[in-house]
């Protein structure tokens, strides 16, 4: 059985130690300082805030 290597869509290394805003599947959005990542595209964000979307306020910050 051969392993298929997947190339990352984004070069996370060039965003290290910078503030990034990430939108996940399902619509959840967070913003924080990118401190780390792995080959599976798991991210480590520091000083993070989450943006919640409701019916009345589309950009509420939590």
The answer to whether residue 7 scores a pLDDT higher than 80 is no
Q: What is the pLDDT of residue 59?
A: 58
Q: Do residues 45 and 34 make contact, with C-beta atoms less than 8 angstroms apart?
A: yes
Give the span between the Cα atoms of 5 and 26, in whole angstroms: 26
Q: Do residues 16 and 26 make contact, with C-beta atoms less than 8 angstroms apart?
A: no
Domains of the chain plus CATH, in order, are 12-61 (2.30.30.100)
Q: What is the pLDDT of residue 52?
A: 87
**Confidence grade of residue 1 (pLDDT, cut at 50, 70, 90):** low
Question: Each residue of 21-56: pLDDT tens digit?
Answer: 999 998 899 999 999 999 999 999 999 999 987 766
Phi, psi of 52 (to 5 degrees): -105, 140
* Sole residue written with tokens 């910050």: 61
Q: Do residues 53 and 41 make contact, with C-beta atoms less than 8 angstroms apart?
A: no
Helix (H, G, I), strand (E, B) or coil at 10: coil
Q: What is the pLDDT of residue 14?
A: 97
The answer to whether residue 3 scores a pLDDT higher than 80 is no
């Amino acid at each position: 059985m051969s392993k298929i290597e997947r190339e990352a869509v984004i070069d996370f290394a060039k965003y290290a130690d910078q503030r990034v805003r990430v939108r996940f599947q399902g619509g959840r959005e967070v913003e924080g300082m990118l401190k780390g990542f792995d080959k599976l595209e798991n991210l480590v964000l520091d000083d993070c805030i989450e943006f919640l979307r409701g019916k009345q306020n589309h950009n509420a910050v939590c």
